[in-house]
Amino acid sequence: MSRYSDIAAAPASIDPMPLPVVDWRRIGAAAPRALDFAYGGPNAPLPEADAAVITWTTAEWSAFDHVFLNSNGTRLPSARDWENGWYLYVADAPPIPPPPPPPATPPTAPPLLAINPALTKPPAPPPPLWGSYNLVEIQSKGGPLKVLLFKSNAHLAHAPGFSAVAEMTARIIREASPRYLYSTGTAGGSRLDQKLGDVIVTNCGAIELQSDINSAYFDLNGKTFSCSNWFAPQSRIHDTREYLFFSLANVVTYPALQALIEKLHAQVPGSDAVMLDDVINSALLPERLLVSDVLPMQDIPLLSTDYYFIADSADSKYSFLEMDDAVLAKVCVEMGVNCSFIRNVSDPIVPAKGANGQDLSPDVRKRWSGLIYETFGLYTSLNSVLTTWATLMDIG
């Protein structure tokens, strides 16, 4: 499980700690208010809103719902019943091609591959395009602000790919008529000073495509799309960070990380020699995770790819790494809508070399990154959703 694959179901896990109640009184605010509207069914147009916020993976969606709709209770990572309160939207959506069959297990594969359910079970079927939505109101600096919340089932890395993400975004803008469009969720860190749980805000995105499903758009590779006339306001972020953020140190401990090393050994053949010292770095040290930072990176582009890309320290020209937002930036620029991209570092940079100086294999680096995401991504997502709320509150 990773940012690449977490599109259809929440990762199975124990429930080490629930998301806490959001105590809005600590910053003199009120919880967002869910709005009643006449739902005309999954093919009906979206309701109008002043702003639209899109999120992507199941971990992100849970934190999204927790902040904007159900902040008065705690939220276990395995909770799913809240999804029933969302409204399906499928108007004129293309069918999703079936996923390719899993590769056959080679006759010489280690027995582990044949018995480990995490490696052998088929993926869950993808949910239908376009996604699900809700509508809330917040009392922003400029007065009541109606916000469309949208959980996307379209993804750049999954068929139909670019065309679906672009059309979904355009439909949201045409039907809901927002003045502002946000994307919030998880991301890969692009530099070592971005630690697990930090939140990054930018207004532009670059794109790099490799998948055959997006071959019609390869001419966009290397291009950057920027909302150059607006940047999400920042004045409410300090108090939100100070009083409402989740401390990753509550869940990221050395015993927890060591347990993930044992999972790595069970899931990646030949990784038994990899120890925690080989994969931990300053972005993941528990003693550095007491407080998450918010890093405004105006005019420093994020990088959207259609493949799972893990940075090394040489990738500092990007604000963060993710898998959709540059498409949104392109559509927003073309349609004249202000846009902002607020992501949390759910999987920081993974060392390219172990403590002994030997190269870590791509399989080890990718699986370690995935284990960090699936274990802590819900908690990191809470902070980026709260940051999104804070900037919306600051809109005049």
What span, in angstroms and rounded, lies between the C-alpha atoms of 74 and 228?
38
Structure token pair of residue 365: 């680096």
Tens digit of pLDDT for each residue in 16-45?
Answer: 799 999 999 999 999 999 999 999 999 999
Return the SS3 of 304. strand
What DSSP character marks residue 320? -
Q: Select 24-393's CATH number: 3.30.70.100, 3.30.70.920, 3.40.50.1580, 2.60.120.10.
A: 3.40.50.1580
Q: Is the pLDDT of residue 109 over 90?
A: no
Residue 199 pairs in a beta bridge with: 294, 344
Can you give the C-alpha Rg of the chain in angstroms?
20
Mean pLDDT calculated for residue range 94-117: 55
**Of residues 202, 216, 215, 210, the one with CA closest to residue 329:** 202
Band of pLDDT at residue 117, cut at 50, 70 and 90: very low
* DSSP codes joined into one string, 117-159: HHHHSPPPPPPPSSEEEEEEEEEETTEEEEEEEEEE--BTTBT
What DSSP character marks residue 208? E
Q: What is the pTM of this model?
A: 0.91
Query: How confident is the prediction for the chain on average, in pLDDT?
Result: 91
* Most distant CA atoms of the chain, gap in Å: 65
Mean pLDDT calculated for residue range 71-83: 96
Mean pLDDT calculated for residue range 256-269: 97
Return the SS3 of 224. strand
Tens digit of pLDDT for each residue in 350-391?
Answer: 999 999 999 999 999 999 999 999 999 999 999 999 999 999
Q: Work out whether strand 51-55 and strand 33-34 pair parallel, antiparallel, or are unpaired.
A: unpaired
Structure token pair of residue 196: 């697990």
Structure token pair of residue 334: 């073309």
* DSSP codes joined into one string, 62-100: HHHHHHHT-TTS-B-TT--GGGGGSEEE-TTPPPPPPPP
The region of weakest confidence among 1-15, 129-143, 322-336 is 1-15
What confidence score (pLDDT) does residue 118 get?
A: 46
Q: Is the pLDDT of residue 108 over 60?
A: no
What span, in angstroms and rounded, lies between the C-alpha atoms of 154 and 212?
16
What confidence score (pLDDT) does residue 314 get?
A: 61
What confidence score (pLDDT) does residue 14 get?
A: 45
Question: How many other C-beta atoms can be found within 10 angstroms of the C-beta atom of residue 126?
Answer: 17
What span, in angstroms and rounded, lies between the C-alpha atoms of 283 and 293?
12
Please name the amino acid found at residue 388.
T
